Amino acid sequence: MGTYVLALWLDVPSTIPIGRLGRFAFSPGWYLYVGSALGPGGVPARLGRHWRRSGSGKRLHWHVDYLREYAVWGGACASYSTEREECAWASAILSQPGARVMAPGFGASDCRCPAHLVYVASLPEEAWFARVLGAERVTVSPDEMDELLQVLVSAGEDAREEAALALGGFGAAAVERLAAILSSGEADARWWATRALAEVGREGVPVLATALRDQDPDVRACAALALGHTGDGSAAAVLADGLGDESAFVASVAADALSMLGEPAIEALVARLGDEMPHIRLLAVRALGRIGSERVIGPLLGILDDESYMVRYYAHDALEALGVGMVYMAP
C-alpha cells in the first residue's frame, strides 16, 4: 500500500482521447502522474500495470493507461503507508515553476484536485522527490530503462537530452546498459550514452574513463567534461593524460574538467608542468590557475623560468590572482 508518482515523456504534440474524460491536446515534455494503491498487490502491482501497454493484453481503464499508450516511461517513485497522499503530492508538483494542468480532471475523478497529472517544465531531481514527497525510486521492471535507451539513441535532440537526464536517475543500474552502447553504437549514440553517464555521477567514472579513448573526438570531449562534472578526484590522472590528446579541442576540455575537480587534480596537473610539450604545460598552468588554491603557488613559482613565454605569462597571471605580488617575469 502507498502513494506513487511516475514520470512520462511525450516526444511530440499529441491529441489523445482519455477515456470518457474526453480528448486533450498534450504538449511535448515531461508529465508526472500521482496515484495511490491501497488494494491487493499495492504499489508494485499498480506500477507494473502502468508499465505495460495494451499490446500486452492490458485493458485500458485508468486515465493514465490512455496516456501511457503514447508516452515513454521515465521512472517511478513511491512512499509506502496506509494514508492517501496523492492530493498533497499533486499539489506540491503543481507548485513547481512552469508546472500546469493539460487535462483537467485527469486522475482526479474522486477528489477536488485540478488533476493528478501535471506537466512540468523539467523533471525534478530525485532528491526533490525524497525531500518534498518522502518518495524513493522504485524499480518496476528489469526492462524499464529500455524505452529511455531507445529514445537516447534514436529520437530528436530535445528528447535525447531529457532521456539522458532521466537515465541519470537510475544510477549504477544504468551504467552497464550505457557502456554497451559505448562499445558498439554509432558515434552519435556513443556521444549520448556518454552524456547520460554524466548524469549518473560517480558510478559512471570507470566507463567515462574508457570513453576518453573513443575514436571520435566529440565523444572524448563529452567524456572529459562528464568526468569533471562528477567531481570525482579519482578521474584526475586519466584527465591529465587527456591534455595530450591529438585534438586540441579535447585537450582543452580535459583541462577545463581538471579545473572543475579542484584540489584533487592539483597533483596530476603539477606532474604535467614538466612535460616536454609546451602546449601540455600551458594547459596545466591555466587549469592550476583556475583552481585558485594556495597549494599551486609553489609549482607556479617553479615554472616562471619556463622556455615558453605563454607558460610564463599564465603562471604569472595565476600568481597575481592568488595575491602573490612582486613576481619578476623574464621577457
What cell does 327 get?
613576481
Contact status, residue 226 vs residue 194, Cβ threshold 8 Å: yes
Q: Is the predicted pLDDT of residue 327 greater than 60, yes or no?
A: no
Strands 72-79 and 117-120: unpaired
Q: Is the predicted pLDDT of residue 329 greater than 50, yes or no?
A: no
pTM metric for this prediction: 0.73
What's the residue count for the chain? 331
pLDDT category of residue 39 using cuts at 50, 70 and 90: low
Distance of CA 308 to the CA centre of its chain: 39
171: left (phi over 0), alpha (psi -120 to 50) or beta: left
For 20, 21, 98, 138, 161, the CA distances from 74, given in Å and listed in that order, are 26, 24, 19, 12, 13
pLDDT above 70 as % of the chain? 95
Mean pLDDT of 24-40: 88
pLDDT given at position 294: 86
Q: What is the pLDDT of residues 137-158, one digit of tens each?
A: 887 776 778 888 888 888 788 8
Residue with cell 605580488: 325
Q: Is the dihedral of CA 117, 90, 164, 185 positive or negative?
A: negative
List of domains in the chain: 2-138 (no CATH), 146-321 (1.25.10.10)
Q: What is the pLDDT of residues 93-118, one digit of tens each?
A: 999 999 999 999 999 988 899 999 99
Q: What is the mean pLDDT of the chain?
A: 88
pLDDT category of residue 55 using cuts at 50, 70 and 90: low
Out of 63-67, 98-102, 257-261, 304-308, least confident range: 304-308
Contact status, residue 14 vs residue 24, Cβ threshold 8 Å: no
Question: Is pLDDT larger for residue 179 or for residue 170?
Answer: 179
